[in-house]
């Protein structure tokens, strides 16, 4: 399911004083809501948050690589496996192989802020992996290897801006660097240089704000693992400022404040 915080972010501008919007949130969705509340984009009094517990979500991209969903008669989760009843018989897949990557290390199985909590059986059971283990693996590469890796990724980009549109924290609207012509930040060419510029500036805009929902990767038509950059900047922010995005409504994002005794 998509991160619904992205839609209420857009709706909040049209909500009157006496109007409210109901929003169903998983744990990861609630972090985006919290971050938007911290930044003053949403108003808590305009929201009715309905929380649902979650143990993971099946990735449609992953399952479409191993079977045709249209040929499935029944799908069920049992014994930590996804079991599919197909025309040719039953097939099973380990949950770790078919859920979203973010679900493997998720630390917010239940929403952080809710008005109504829907209790019930949790959807899946997964073995918890070390948080951001994929980034740690990527960091083992030499700088030249990393450059080649990201150059190859950005060369695939078709600049459809799906990553921007799906991100709950991209709300520049008419002032987006991809759309503005005064100043003119980007050319319309989808070459590696312009693509690199687009993704790096966007990464700068969400530094210390990304909650790791990975909607950007879910909607990317060419499978660029762009959230690795955002999550890496969040790791650095946590080390420098002891701040994790989207965890507490009363927290102030580090780039919205300062301390006299800050040292770098």
Q: What is the pLDDT of residues 209-255, one digit of tens each?
A: 999 999 999 999 999 999 999 988 888 888 888 899 999 999 988 88
The tokens describing 41, both together, are: 């984009």
pLDDT digits (tens, 9 = 90+) for 148-161: 999 999 999 999 99
Task: Tell me the β-bridge partners of 23.
Answer: 49
State the Cα–Cα distance between residues 72 and 28, nearest whole angstrom. 29
State the Cα–Cα distance between residues 185 and 179, nearest whole angstrom. 9
Can you give the pTM of this predicted structure?
Answer: 0.86
Q: Is the per-residue pLDDT at 73 higher than 90? A: no
Q: Is the per-residue pLDDT at 16 higher than 70? A: no
Which of 6-10, 106-110, 156-160 shows the lowest mean pLDDT across its residues?
A: 6-10
């Amino acid at each position: 399911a998509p991160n619904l915080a992205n839609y209420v972010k857009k709706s909040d501008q049209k909500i009157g004083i006496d109007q409210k919007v109901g929003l169903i949130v998983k744990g990861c969705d609630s972090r985006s809501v919290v971050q938007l509340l911290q930044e003053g984009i949403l108003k808590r009094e305009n929201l009715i948050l309905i929380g649902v517990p979650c143990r993971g979500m099946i990735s449609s991209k992953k399952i479409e690589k191993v079977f045709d969903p249209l040929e499935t008669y029944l799908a069920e989760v049992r014994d930590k496996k996804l079991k599919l009843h197909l025309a040719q018989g039953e097939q099973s897949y380990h949950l770790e192989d078919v859920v979203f990557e973010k679900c493997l290390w998720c630390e917010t199985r239940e929403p952080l802020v809710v008005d109504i909590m829907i209790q019930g059986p949790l959807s899946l059971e997964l073995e918890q992996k070390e948080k951001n283990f994929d980034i740690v693996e990527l960091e083992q590469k030499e700088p030249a290897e990393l450059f080649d890796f990201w150059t190859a990724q950005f060369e695939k980009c078709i600049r459809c801006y799906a990553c921007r549109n799906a991100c709950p924290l991209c709300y520049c609207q008419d002032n987006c660097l991809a759309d503005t012509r005064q100043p003119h930040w980007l050319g319309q060419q989808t070459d590696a240089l312009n693509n690199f510029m687009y993704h790096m500036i966007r990464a700068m805009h969400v530094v210390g704000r990304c909650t790791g929902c990975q909607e950007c990767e879910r909607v990317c038509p060419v499978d660029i693992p762009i959230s690795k950059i955002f999550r890496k900047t969040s790791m650095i922010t946590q080390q420098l400022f002891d701040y994790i995005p989207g965890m507490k409504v009363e927290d102030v994002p580090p780039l919205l404040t300062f301390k006299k005794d800050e040292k770098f």
